[in-house]
Amino acid sequence: MSGLSAAEHAEIDLSLGAVVVSNYLSYLTMGVVLSATWTYFSKFPTDRWWFKALVILCVGMSISDTIATGIWTYDWAVTNYANPTALTLMHWALPAEGLFLSTCGVIVQLFYVWRLWIMSDMKNWVLPAVIGCLSIMGWCTMCWVTHVLATHSLISDFTLLLPVIYIWLGGSVGADVLITGSMIYYLDLRFRIKNQASYNTQRYF
């Protein structure tokens, strides 16, 4: 890399460094996912078959995403080391990861939409509908982003999609916040109802 200018050095450090760090984080989180998967199948072997199918599907996409990140890192850090031209080209792993990430996310969020509806005794339609709309909106947005990335050859074209990605991120975060808050509310409500029933039973005896 001694023949490269200072600007090219800075570009390589910024681009390649981000990909390498994300690769390490991908391996780390993949270990967490595999550990959680093992725990799930060990503790809940009698769960419904479609619960297990969803888990296997999401884990499969997570593994595929990790493999894609590893290939991307190898291509940039080893095969095309010190080759600034390669860093300007769109790598196939970028749109693939966008598709894996968004599809896995929408599956999990829609599962919790169903779960919240069940926890509300099938009475609350508004909250699950709002969360479902945010989730599907985010997934559709990322499908369009994936299409754009797959049909463009320069990595610089990614910056054109930043406003749209912020829309996806806002919708996904909003859905996750609503899911978390709703789960806390319904679990706390069920806990208080159970304690009240236990207290009333003790008073009766």
b/e map 187-205, b = 16+ CB within 10 Å:
eeeeeeeeeeeeeeeeeee
Q: What is the mean pLDDT of the chain?
A: 86
Rounded to whole angstroms, the Cα distance separating 29 from 35 reads: 10
Rounded to whole angstroms, the Cα distance separating 116 from 122 reads: 8
Question: Which residues are bridge partners to 154 per DSSP?
Answer: 89
**Higher-confidence position of 5 and 168:** 168
Question: Which residues are bridge partners to 89 per DSSP?
Answer: 154
If you write DSSP's letter for every residue of 47-109 in order, what string do you get? S-HHHHHHHHHHHHHHHHHHHHHHHHHHIIIIITTT-HHHHTBPPTHHHHHHHHHHHHHHHHH
Model confidence pLDDT, tens digit, residues 54-101? 999 999 999 999 999 999 999 988 898 778 788 888 999 999 999 999
What predicted TM-score, i.e. pTM, was given to this entire model? Answer: 0.82
Rounded to whole angstroms, the Cα distance separating 51 from 47 reads: 7
Model confidence pLDDT, tens digit, residues 5-36? 666 566 666 778 888 898 999 999 999 999 99
- ∠ CA 1-10-98, nearest 5°, is 105
Q: Where are the domains of the chain?
A: 1-88, 90-205
